[in-house]
Amino acid sequence: MQQSSATDYLRRSHIVIMAICTGLIVANIYYCQPLLVLISKSFGISESKGGRIAFLTQLGYALGLLFFVPLGDKVERRGQIVWMAAFAVLSLVFAAVSPNLLCLEIASVCIGATSVIPQLILPLAAHLAQPSRTGKVIGAIMSGLLIGILLSRTLSGFVGRWLGWRGMFWVASVISFSLLIIIRYSFPPSRPNFTGSYASLMRSLVTLAREQPVLREAAAINALGFATFGMFWTTMVLHLSGAPFHFKSDLIGLFGLAAAAGALAAPLVGGSADKRNPRIAIGYGLCLLLLSFVLLYVWADYVSGMVAGIVLLDLAMQCIHVSNQSRVYALIPHARNRLNTVYMTVSFIGTSLGSAVGLFAWDKAGWTGVCITGALLTTAAFTIYALTFRKIRPATA
């Protein structure tokens, strides 16, 4: 779709609807996290083994990013989003009726793979946004996405407490079906601009990664940041359900409200990326991320300390992720879906591995091990940031 006039640009109503849909759909990936203890008890398994549900859901999301998101450059995006939403509904129903752990694990991979819709919406929004407002539009929709991620835990905690973990998946399936209808009748259509085969589309991902140093740098830094994010939210449930807190799923879910405060900063970060070098915000974000793990370690046994750490951690992720995404989308406008595929696939591989590493750290050294691991991952991201501090010129399209 070519932007031929101002009428092609996104209206405010489109941005609001996209932000809401993005937040409610991405929530499907995170509903399971406050439910891990309930799921473990339901199947009579250890909590660390039950934690694999979160890992598999995030792994499924990474697979969906790799194999489905590139199609946004080849097929009509709205139609693809509608079909993906339909399969998400079926996956959630499968999870709700799973008779054993294996079925739930398969359903979790499917939920993750079919919940990549936000990564189809974001390139569509960037394509339709006025060039001077791309960062701000991305930031606004990212606010919806991140608030959805964070408040999903609050909703899941309460529903899980009163209706059980299966009840949460039934509620999620109804929400996703409603969004399917809204998307079908409110999203603007788009025309693809890639005419090659699916195989050539996938091969172009390798070419983009090889030719775009900014893409490689942004993906590496983001993967390490997302690893800390996935690690924290997977193990936090285990920390808060044990001594000295002994919280149930509904109280654990409330901590998502604290994280939502950090997510509200996304439009400000996006607007800043339109006006100045977004690398500045990435540096600040890495500093905040390291500080958050210091607070989470020092005040591990205090609710106020956990809340402060969560707010800083999620504010840090806004600075890192929104700024990196703005840089990536600016590289080759007609290849935004494929650029986003490389960037987000690497990022969510980081998330899933972070969850796995976090569970390992929890088994070996408890919450102290988690905080030390988070600080080490942040230090690794700082190292990449420092080594690539000089201005990198992207390759031409």
The CATH number for 323's domain is 1.20.1250.20
Asked if pLDDT for residue 394 goes beyond 50, the answer is no
Q: 340 pLDDT exceeds 80?
A: yes
Q: How far apart are CA 106 and CA 91, in angstroms?
A: 9
The verdict on residue 392 lying in a domain is: no
Of the chain, the end-to-end C-alpha distance in Å amounts to 18
**Which of 24, 144, 51 is CA-nearest to residue 354?**
51
Residue 19 lies in a domain: yes
Res. 133: pLDDT tops 80: no
Looking at the domain assignment, is residue 74 inside a domain? Answer: yes
Q: Is residue 394 part of a domain?
A: no
Domain assignment present for 2: no
> At residue 220, does pLDDT exceed 50?
yes
**Which whole number is the average pLDDT over 322-342?**
87
| Among 266, 380, 371, 373, CA closest to 324 | 266
Q: What is the mean pLDDT of the chain?
A: 86
Return left, alpha or beta for 100; rule: phi > 0 is left, psi -120 to 50 is alpha, else beta: beta
Q: Summarize pLDDT for 371-381 with one digit per residue, the tens.
A: 999 999 999 99
Q: Which domain holds residue 218?
A: 10-186+196-387
Q: Is residue 29 part of a domain?
A: yes
**Does residue 144 sit within a domain?**
yes
Q: Per the domain annotation, does 21 fall within a domain?
A: yes
pLDDT band per the 50, 70, 90 thresholds, residue 293: very high
Domain count, the chain: 1
pLDDT of residue 261: 67
**Which residue has tokens 């091990």?**
369
Q: What is the pTM of this model?
A: 0.76
